Every structure is written in C-alpha cells, then in structure tokens.
Amino acid sequence: MKNKLLHLSRRQFLQGAGVALSLPAFESFAAGTATDDKSPRRLVCVGNHLGFYPGNFFPKAPGKGYVPTSTLKPLETHRDDLTVFSHLDHELNGGHKAVQGFLTSITKEEAAGFPQKNISLDQAAAEHVGSSTRFPSINTGIEGGTDMCWTRAGVHVPPINNPATLFRGLFVNSPQGVREAERTRLKHRASVLDALRDSASALNRTLNAVDRDKLDQYLTSVRDVERRLQMSKEWLDRPKPKSPIDDVLDEERQHIDEVALLYDLMALALQTDSTRVATLETPMAFRTAELDLGSYHGLSHHSKSEDRIGQLQIVEAFLATKLSDFISRLKEAQIFDKTLIVFGSGMSDGSIHSNRNLPVLLAGAGFIHQGHVVCPAEQHKRVPLSNLWLSVLHWFGANADRFGRSTGTFSPMEIG
C-alpha cells in the first residue's frame, strides 16, 4: 500500500476521493468557545486601501488634549470614546501589496512560515464566536476591496459589495425548496470532505517534510470548510429577524451612498445579533468624483501639492463622518460600549507608498480612552501593530498566545 501511494498522481488522488478539488502541488508526486450571550462583545474593522495623509490624520500633541486634525474633526462628538495611535506598523513593505497585511501583519506569500498562517483579526474573532450567531462574520466593502480579510487557511474573504445582497442575507428567509436544496448540498459537501480528509491522512505518512507542510495547510482549509458547513446547518431552518427598515433593492448607487448604507446594514446586523464581527473595505477605486473631486488614487499621489492634499482632506473627512454616524447608531442601539471599532489602513502616505506609521484608531469597547497615544518611533523600540491586535483578541475573549508577528500584548487603555 505504501509503494502504491508513493506513485499516486494528483489526478488519481482526486479521483479516489470522488471529487475535483484543488490540492497543493506536492513535490513527492513528481518523483471555537462561544461568546457570553448575556453581554456579547462585537468587533468591527474598517480599512481604507489608500491610507490617510499623515498631516490630515495624526494630531501634533499627545494625550487627551490634542487639537483634532481635519480627518478627526468629524469625530469630535465621540473624542472621549476613541484613541488615535502614532508610530504603529505591521512590519511589512511593498506599498499597495502590503495593504493586505493590515489585519494580519503577514503577507499571503509568507503565510506558511507562521503557526497561525495569515489569518486576519476579524476571522480570528469569528472563529471564537463560532456558531453563536447566524454569520460568524459579515465582510462588506465597495467594489474593488482591499484584500483585508483572510481565513486561517490563507484564503481571501471577498467583501459583499451589493447592499441588496447583504439585506437579503440578513432579513429575507429562503423558501422551503431553497433550504432543502441547500441542505442536500451541505450533506454532499460534508461527505466529500470526509473522503478527502481520510485519503489525505493516509497519504501523510509517505510525504517528505516540505510536502507534509503543504498537506497540513490543505487539511487546515478542509477543517475550515467543515466548520463553516456545520454553522450553516445549525442556522438553516431558524427564521431571520424582521427588518426594521424598508427593503434594500438592487439599483445603481453612488459610492458615497453605498458607504452609508453598508454602515447602516452592519449596525443592524450587530443590533439583531446576526453577527458579532463585521468589516468594511474602501478600495483605491472609490469614486471621489461624486464629491466633485479628482481620481482618489491620483489624489493620493499628492507630491505635497496643497491642492491635492486639500482634496484629500475632503475625502478623508467624508470617511470619518460616516464612521462618526456609525458610532452614533451603535450608541442609539446601546451596544457601543460592547463594540470595539478598528479604523485605519495598511498604507500610511499613499504618495510615497509608505507602510510605516500606519493610521490606526480604536473606538468604543467601554475603554477609558487616551486620546492620542504616541508609541516609540525608533525601529528597535517600535511596538508591532500585531501586539495591539493580540490585545484586541484578548478583549474579545479569544484565548490566543500570539497573533501575526506579535511579541506580546499592547493595551494602553483601561477597561471601564
């Protein structure tokens, strides 16, 4: 049996499992604790691909008495409920490519070298929630996205960019026939995964170290699919909550309207406990012409032009205003003190494609916020951004020893 396995081709392995499913290219072939339902905690991550111009974002003075910059002015109503961080970064380079590491601190290409792969902050929190909610996470964004969210298997989680699709998922119950078809699909999919897992486990004994690592990554992705299938089955026949707003229909919308609507739907998803983890991504293709401005990507390459920086102020103040409105919605729903909002980017100054001194803001969670926290700027003293993410996971209730490139925790705020 061992000799036969050594000479199996990838195609034969798949045929033996009875499915056409993509496996890693092995070199050898060539020769969840539920959250407390009484007071659940929620996590929202908002990422902007093109960052925020540093002069518009970071206050000059540290502490609570800072003078708000143009980006922070729309958030003045909530200044006691947020903390701005200076001199944090995810230790990645690569300009636009490094933006994908905002919530991971690890690129997809180097993920195999880390125990947690390149799982993002939101998905790690979603694993902790498990099947306590209908959706472990809801990932939204304007069309184009930022590649911000990644599963433990290193698979990108694409954002939902159609508000009508999100509305139907949250509030429209599927007909009985559709649910039965989905049940059949889930059952078949589960049996396929069982066959693949058994075959892969038998194969593991014949592989070299490099291929065993690849197989481990593959089995991790299988386990991730299994977990999601189980969650789907648990919620398949449970009725969805009634929508407190009118139906959201499929229609052409301006990007500025989509941002507001996606924020509203995220707020409703959290309020109805349909999920406890949500994300929103703003891509570099965000249409700023709707704000009577030039190309957003073009503006980000400002070359210190006062006119372009002034136009960036308008864009960034708009994005901060929508965040402020979202915070107000959560306060009205009385869930803000149990919701932690992460707002920022894996890019700092888009003009020079800098991934250093990332714009990062935390809001809510019942913290005693510190205004503007200035972290050490020196390379040998710099605090890794993933240290902050590890502290966020601990607040959320996840029992993680490390996250990304973390060297410990970083939590300058006290919980009130």
Q: Looking at domain 36-171+243-415, does it have CATH number 3.40.50.300? A: no
pLDDT for position 221: 64
Alpha-carbon distance values, 174 to 136, 137, 236, 407 (Å): 19, 20, 9, 46
Sorted by sequence, the CB contacts under 8 Å of residue 222 that are 6+ apart come out as 193, 196, 197, 200
* Position 14 pLDDT exceeds 60: no
CA-to-CA separations, 66 to 51, 63, 194, in angstroms, rounded:
21, 6, 57
Look at residue 13 in the predicted model and tell me its pLDDT: 37
Rounded Cα gap, residues 349 and 142, in angstroms: 21
In order of 281, 306, 351, 378, the CA distances from 287 in angstroms are 14, 21, 18, 37
- The mean per-residue pLDDT over the stretch 329-354 comes to 95
Taking 80 as the threshold, does the pLDDT of residue 334 lie above it?
Answer: yes
| The most confident of 9-13, 231-235, 267-271, by mean pLDDT | 267-271
Say how far apart CA 5 and CA 346 lie, in whole Å: 44
**Residue 172, pLDDT score:** 83
Nearest of 356, 345, 397 to residue 48 by alpha carbon: 345
Domain residue limits, the chain: 36-171+243-415, 174-238
pLDDT band at residue 300 under the 50/70/90 scheme: very high
pLDDT at position 85: 96
Confidence grade of residue 279 (pLDDT, cut at 50, 70, 90):
very high
Tell me what pLDDT residue 188 has.
63
**Confidence label for 230 from pLDDT (cuts 50, 70 and 90):** low
Among 145-159, 286-300, 340-354, the least confident range: 145-159
Model confidence at 165: pLDDT above 50: yes
Question: Does residue 384 or residue 5 have the better pLDDT?
Answer: 384
Average pLDDT over residues 163-167: 93
* Residue that wins the pLDDT comparison between 231 and 289: 289
Predicted confidence band of residue 222 (pLDDT cuts 50, 70, 90): low
Q: How far apart are CA 264 and CA 267, in angstroms?
A: 5
Question: Tell me, what's the pLDDT at 231?
Answer: 60
